[in-house]
Structure 1
Amino acid sequence: MTQDTETTRRARWRVTLDAHGAEHGVHLRLGDDHGALFTEDGETLLVTFEMAETIRDEGQGGLPYGLQIAGRDGCSQLCLYSETDGFFRAQEVFDYFDGLIDEGFFDEFDRVVFYGCGPCGYAAAAFSVAAPFSTSVLLRPLATLDPARTEWESRYPEMRRTDFTSRYGYAPDMLEAAESAFVIYNPDFARDAMHASLFEAPNIHKLRTRWLSNKLDTELDDMGVLEPLLRAALRGKLTPAGFARLWRDRHRHGPWLRRLVTGLDAAERPWLTGIAARAALARFDWPRLRNAHEAAKAALREEGRSLPEPLKRKEAAE
């Protein structure tokens, strides 16, 4: 796609947002790279931070993902979008939130929920300070890119000179006034886990999702977990136990099962590999799973062992 074509595509998309904002709330352009779309509805507000390109490519009718969630529950929605990987650290965004605070915008809502993933998760945490007693749902959030705190972080080299020490800066500190925050991440990704370790406070719940890819939002959405997760937060019902119940749906998610079996096989644990592969084969008849199952049984035979008989359906339920 040529630069002219992309510029035209962006311009047409922003016209779509202008039309939506004029009918349902307001759309503001915050400089060249950011914008805010507010859709007014109920007394609960979902604030999402999203990448503009993702909205254009995947959004329903070119509208934010958060609006799909909030609209179904009759909630208001505020989407901050960005055309760059700049972590929303632009003066125009700072000024916008300053204005919302001065106007008492967040005070008009009974409940406020912030959501974002990755750099957008950083922004959701950082700007949540604007709405004390809010809830944040953060997927693999970064805490900061300040080299003094994260000299081990080699991603986003173009952001290493960006100031992360001034206003709305260090994300974990910005959650101090939150009612609760849920940091969801895969500990197998070392740098994601290191960022998660910086989120330490009594109101922060850390929820681990092993065997998922680094596209955490996409996989949780494909599992059918992300939407009920956010809806629970909007109702004030999200808890670690509630997340655990939703997370059980991974047992029906093919990519998660494949990574589980592959990981156990690589760790040379044939007994667990065989059990996991057999369970996965009950849902997905994939050659890789069959091969892992047969290889596990062969390895166990060499050790004079065998897999246990599978539980009958009634026994499994009990």
Structure 2
Amino acid sequence: MDQPPKSDAQNVRTSDISDLPRAQWLEAIEDIGEDAGYFEPLGADHCVMFSDEAPRLLVTFESYDSITERSENGLPLGYNFAKKHGWSHLSIIAHGSDPTSLWFRVHNIYGYFDRLVDEGFFEDFDQVVFYGAGHSGYAACAYSVASPGATVIAIAPQATLDARLASWDKRFSNTRRMDFSTRYGFAPHMIDAADHAMILYDPHIDPDAMHAALFKNRHTSLRPVRNFGADPEFEMLEMGAVEPILIAAMNGVLTQRVVTRALRNRRHHAGYQRRLLTEVTAQNHPLLTTRLCTHVLKTRKARPFESALGLAQKSMQEQGMTIPFDAKPD
């Protein structure tokens, strides 16, 4: 018996749209959204895509650039995670060329979340998880106020870019005229109604650590992720750490131990290893350098680690230190 032909949206969902020009990519997202639940423009630079699957809802804030660079098929990361695990998904997407759109601070989005609250949208779900990273992490925290009792996971979020509170963050000069003092403004206050919030950040990135310190809520867990760099989400996605954290949050069992388990693969991740090498060599700690380089070189060839190992062993010999047996040259 012949199978009925797939709809355009079904074809898109099984293909890679990451290389499509921005306008065509947005058309594909619209087709998928309308087929799965609904799609709605939110002004010139934003849209929302909803997939209605189950009484568990993942809410993500993403951008055209982050999606097409980090998703294997060009679909929102949250959509892929939700589809895999049978969750419903609400994705607010910044797709315009204006860099200020990445913080999702426009009246159309305020009004959209106001409408969701008025309609009792979030009350239809047993569990709601908000997720985002960087500017999207800011938005995930800020708009979580619309769903009291939700869980929030934010990776390296900004707390605010209000010059009165964060004048020390010089990274985003294009936001200087933006208003972070009005509705959905100060992210740490907006997560007051959340059941639990987890803020992950690299303490070596000073602005990220300073933003994290502004999240002082009692129900907020600050989780330093050392040597993950200025873009921890990228590293966490590469090592498969984001998905188990989302699963735990959706199951109501997100703890520091869960995060620790999810991050175990960092020991084998090249980016993390490079930054750790930079740290231990800067500390002039030849034994740690030797152990790290030996661990890395057991699995792959890497000239920076070979060079660092030679220098560390020379330093140890000069200091009369014993070189670990498994690190001795053949």
The 5-angstrom pairing of residues 1-318 of structure 1 reads 9-82=21-94, 83=96, 84-86=98-100, 87-310=103-326
Residue of structure 1 in register with 2:11 after alignment: none
Q: Distance in 2 between matches of 1:88 and 1:23?
A: 25
Structure 1 contact 275–307 (Cα < 8 Å) conserved: no
Q: Distance in 2 between matches of 1:164 and 1:231?
A: 31
CA RMSD of aligned residues (A): 1.5
Deviations 1:195-217 (A, max 9, x none): 01101111111111111122211
Q: Which amino acid aligns with 1:72?
A: K
Q: Taking structure 1 as the reference length, what is the TM-score of the superposition?
A: 0.92
Alpha-carbon offset, residue 56 of structure 1: 3.6
Q: Tell me which moved more, 128-137 or 279-288.
A: 279-288
- C-alpha spacing 1:85/1:235, structure 2 compared with 1 (3 Å): farther
- C-alpha spacing 1:262/1:59, structure 2 compared with 1 (3 Å): closer
Which segments of structure 1 move beyond 6 Å, counting only runs of 4 or more? none
Q: Distance in 2 between matches of 1:105 and 1:234?
A: 18
Q: Distance in 2 between matches of 1:203 and 1:85?
A: 32
- C-alpha spacing 1:296/1:21, structure 2 compared with 1 (3 Å): same
Query: Percent identity at matched positions?
Result: 37
Q: Which amino acid aligns with 2:188?
A: P
Q: Which amino acid aligns with 1:280?
A: V
Q: Distance in 2 between matches of 1:63 and 1:111?
A: 23
Structure 1: where are the runs of 5+ without partners?
A: 1-7, 312-318
Alpha-carbon offset, residue 57 of structure 1: 4.4
Residue of structure 1 in register with 2:4 after alignment: none
Q: Tell me which moved more, 72-81 or 263-272.
A: 263-272
Deviations 1:10-52 (A, max 9, x none): 3322221221122110000001000100011011000000012
Deviations 1:77-113 (A, max 9, x none): 0000113432100000000000000000000000000
Alpha-carbon offset, residue 258 of structure 1: 2.0
Alpha-carbon offset, residue 60 of structure 1: 4.7
Q: Distance in 2 between matches of 1:295 and 1:195?
A: 37
Q: Distance in 2 between matches of 1:233 and 1:263?
A: 32
Q: Tell me which moved more, 288-297 or 301-310.
A: 301-310
Residue of structure 2 in register with 1:3 after alignment: none
Alpha-carbon offset, residue 247 of structure 1: 1.4
Secondary structure of 1:212 counterpart: coil
Secondary structure of 1:168 counterpart: coil
- C-alpha spacing 1:290/1:56, structure 2 compared with 1 (3 Å): closer
- C-alpha spacing 1:25/1:60, structure 2 compared with 1 (3 Å): farther
Secondary structure of 1:300 counterpart: helix
- C-alpha spacing 1:260/1:141, structure 2 compared with 1 (3 Å): same
